[in-house]
Chains A and B, each alone.
Chain A
C-alpha cells in the first residue's frame, strides 16, 4: 500500500468527521473507562450500552430526536442501575442483566414490529464510519468537554468514592450524587460514541484502554491520561483500518485495543500480569 493510498481517505469529509469522532470518542471512553474498571463497573457499562439501544429504537420509530430520546432512556437506565447497585434488593449483576438486556431486546423487537426498515440498526449495533455526521463531531466534542470538566472539578471526590465509598461518605462526600454524576457521564459517553463504536462494542472500548494503562502504571493520575491516550490511538488507528479493510469501525477500534493489550502483556512482563490479575479480583 502506497502513502497516497493511505492518505486518500483524508480527502473525504465523511472520513475526516469519522476520524475526529473515533479519536475523541476513543479518548473519552478511555478516560471514563478508568472509573469503570477500578469500580468493577464493566458489566454496568456493557449493560448500559445495550439498554440505550432500546431508547434508540423507540426514538427512531417515534420520529423523536435520536440523541434526546436515547439519552433520556439511557439516563433512566443508568439511574435504575445505580439505584439497584446501591440498594441491592436482588443481586446487582442479575438486576443489571434484567434491566439492560430487556431494554436491548425491546429495541430489537420494536424495530422489527414497528417496520423500522429505514433505521440503520447495524450502524447502532456495530458502528459505521459512513453514519458519522458533523453533528456527531459536535456531540462527541461536547460530551468529552463535559466529562473532562466533571473529572477535573470532581477529581478528589471521584477518587475517594472509587477507592473507599464508605469512608468517603462518612467524610462528607455526597457519594450518591457522585455516583449519579458518574452514571450520567457514562450514559452520555455511550450515547455520543454509539454511532462510531456500536452499542455491542462500547464496553470493550471502555475497558481495554484502562486495563492496558493499569498494566503499565500504578499511579491513578497517570492511569487517567494514559488510558485516554490509548483510547484515542485505538480510535485513530481503528478508523483508518476500518476504511482500508472495509470493516465496521467498532470492531477495528476494539481489535486495535486488543492488540495493544497483548503487546502490553508481553512488554510489562510479570509485573503487568500481576496487576492484571489483581484487577480481576476487584
Chain B
C-alpha cells in the first residue's frame, strides 16, 4: 500500500466521519428531512422516530436509557448545560463546585463564569501521572458542595481518571456528579451506573460521527434537574430548546453503535499502533519523556516531550503529519499547556511536547513513516539547538542565569 500524505494523527481534535455513518445520515437530508417536532404529518413522524431510535442507541453506549439523553450542539454546550444548569438549580443547597486543573476549557471557563456569579470553585490539583486522586477530592468536599465535574479521559495527555472511585466519593456526600466523557466514550468501556454519574457530556465528532451534535446524559433515577440555558420551544423536555439536528443525531447514533460493537477489537488495534509509535520513537531518539500515565491512558494517545526541541518548530518539521503541541507558540496566549504544567512538567518540557492522536484509520505504514520522520527531524532541530549543544558539553541548563522575556 502506498502512503498517502498528509497523515492525520490528531484524532483528539476531531475524527473523520466513518463512511457507514455518512450513509446512515444521507436520507435525513433528502427524503426524510422533516422537523422532529412536527406532529401533524408523516415527515415529522419519520424524523421523530429516527431521533427516538437514536436516543436509545447513544444511551446504550454508556449503559443508560434513551429517556436520559438530551441532544445538544456538542460537548461545549453539554458541559455548559450540565454545570451551569445544575449549579443554578441546586444553588439553594450550596454554592461550592469542584473540578480539576486539567479539565477542558469548556468546563474550566464555565466554572470561572460561575465564580463571578458568586459560586466558589475548587480546582483540584492532579498527581504527577495526570490523574485526580480520589482522596484529594474527599478532602475538598464540603457540606456546600453541589456539583463535582471530573473528566473521563484527558484531551491532551489521554490519561484516564478513576471515575468509579470518584463517583463513590461524590455520591457519599450527595453532590451532583458530572463527567466530561467526550474523549473516552466510544474508546474505552464506560458505564453511567458503575461510575454513578448524574450528568455525562458526549460529542459525536470525537467518535467518527459528524460535528455539531452532542448529548448530555441526565440521570432519571434518582432524577437530576437542570435549569436550561437556552429557552424557546421546550424541546428536549424543556432542558434544551431548538429544532433537532436530525441528520446529525442519526449519524451520532450510528457512530455510537459502531464504537460499541467494535470497541474491543479497535481498542486493541489502536493500542498496538500507539505502542509501535512509542517504542519506535524511544528506540531512535534519546531524551524523550511520555507525559502522563502510560498505564491509565486512552489507547490512541501519545503525548511526548522531546527535550531541547521546541514543539512548534517540531510541528513545522512534521509538516506532512497533523499533530498538535503543548508549546506556547501554538497558542495566542504564549503560555505553555496548562495541563502539562498541572502535572508538574517543567515549562521547557511543556514547550517541547507533541500530542499524537491515533485512531480508526491509522495504519502501520503511517506509524513507521512518522517514527522515521520524527527521528530525522529531532536530530536536525537538536543540531541547531543551543540547549542541546550546552547539554552535550556537560552544562547543567538549570545553573544558567536565563533572562526571561
Do the two chains belong together in a single complex?
A: no
Chain A residues with a Cβ under 8 A of chain B: none
- B interface list, Cβ under 8 A from A: none
